[in-house]
């Protein structure tokens, strides 16, 4: 298994095609031109590949500066993300994401860094407690005012009127892609897990592509023990 962090401009046409092939296996209502347009808006791509199967997973990343009433922050926004079901036991994609976050901390000249995640599925949302000590929204803590203000500002900036501030959900009205029915694993959704129950309660339209907007501070203090272990065990190759 190989794990790469790639500058988007260096992606080869064949890699783009393989990414779309993986994506279209697990998402419904996909559109190739929309996929390409979204990809062009990103800065970095995390790729997971296997010598026998080619690209088996990826996550697209945008990094940008946002200026608000409280000052400037750096935002890491994760876009399209998927791993082939046969390789979900492998932690390479998660480890590479951790390397990318640490790179963002180093590169951003002391500015606060935040991860902006929009969750279409419980498995995606479940990544937050696996990786971070604190994140929002969460079942066991209220959102501090400063986080709520920042979440709303970032979501309105990206999604406009599709974002509903009261629920922190982006409703696309069926105009975007959503996870295939087979991805809504009954065993996962039925698990006695407070994080999964919270996601299902907060985002009841997830099966139609509604997205719960989430935010976590990116700092060494906010990375939990499991995140540190996964990062330390993952070797990545950068391509710029």
Predicted confidence pLDDT, tens digits, the chain (240 residues):
899 999 999 999 999 999 999 999 999 999 999 999 999 999 999 999 999 889 999 999 999 999 987 789 999 999 999 999 999 999 999 999 999 999 999 998 789 999 999 999 888 999 999 999 999 999 999 999 999 999 999 999 999 999 999 999 999 887 889 898 877 765 566 678 999 999 999 999 998 899 999 999 999 999 999 999 999 999 999 999
Burial class (CB in 10 A: 0-12, 13-18, 19+), 117: buried
pTM greater than the 0.85 cutoff = yes
Q: Quick one: pLDDT at residue 185?
A: 67
DSSP 52: T
Q: Quick one: pLDDT at residue 69?
A: 78
Q: Quick one: pLDDT at residue 184?
A: 74
Q: Are strands 163-164 and 237-239 parallel, antiparallel or unpaired?
A: unpaired
The domain total for the chain is 1
Q: Quick one: pLDDT at residue 187?
A: 56
**Domain-embedded: residue 198:** yes
Q: Which residues form the domain of 62?
A: 2-234
**Domain-embedded: residue 98:** yes
Q: Quick one: pLDDT at residue 174?
A: 79
Q: Quick one: pLDDT at residue 214?
A: 98
**Domain-embedded: residue 83:** yes
Tokens of 194: 């407070």
**Domain-embedded: residue 119:** yes
Q: Supply the CATH number for residue 19's domain.
A: 3.40.630.30
**Domain-embedded: residue 239:** no
Give which of 198, 240, 224, 239 is closest to 94, Cα–Cα.
224
**Domain-embedded: residue 240:** no
Contact 105, 195 (CB under 8 A): no
**Domain-embedded: residue 156:** yes
Neighbours of 95 (CB within 10 A): 22
Contact 183, 82 (CB under 8 A): no
End-to-end CA distance of the chain: 20
Q: What angle do CA 7, 9, 10 make, to 5 degrees?
A: 70
> In whole angstroms, how far apart are CA 194 and each of 104, 138, 188, 214, 215?
30, 9, 12, 16, 18
Q: Quick one: pLDDT at residue 228?
A: 97
Query: From CA 147, how far away is CA 152, in angstroms rounded?
Result: 8
**Domain-embedded: residue 10:** yes
């Amino acid at each position: 298994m190989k794990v790469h962090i790639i500058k988007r401009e260096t992606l080869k046409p064949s890699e783009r095609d393989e990414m779309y092939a993986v994506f279209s296996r697990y998402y419904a209502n996909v559109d190739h031109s929309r996929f390409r347009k979204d990809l062009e808006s990103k800065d970095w791509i995390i790729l997971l590949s296997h010598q026998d199967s080619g690209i088996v997973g990826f996550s697209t990343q945008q990094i940008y500066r946002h200026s608000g009433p409280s000052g400037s922050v750096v935002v890491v926004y994760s876009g399209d993300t998927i791993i082939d079901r046969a390789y979900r036991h492998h932690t390479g994609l998660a480890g590479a994401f951790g390397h990318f976050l640490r790179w963002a901390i180093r590169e951003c000249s002391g500015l606060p860094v935040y991860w902006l995640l929009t969750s279409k599925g419980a498995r995606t949302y479940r990544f937050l407690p696996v990786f971070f000590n604190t994140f929002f929204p969460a079942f066991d803590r209220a959102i501090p005012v400063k986080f709520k203000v920042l979440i709303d500002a970032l979501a309105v900036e990206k999604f406009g009127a599709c974002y509903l501030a009261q629920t922190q959900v982006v409703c696309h009205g069926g105009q975007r892609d959503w996870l295939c029915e087979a991805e809504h694993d009954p065993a996962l959704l039925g698990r006695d897990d407070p994080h999964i129950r919270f996601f299902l309660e907060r985002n009841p339209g997830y099966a139609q592509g509604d997205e719960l907007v989430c935010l976590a501070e990116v700092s060494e203090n906010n990375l939990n023990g499991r995140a540190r272990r996964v990062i330390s065990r993952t070797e990545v190759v950068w391509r710029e």
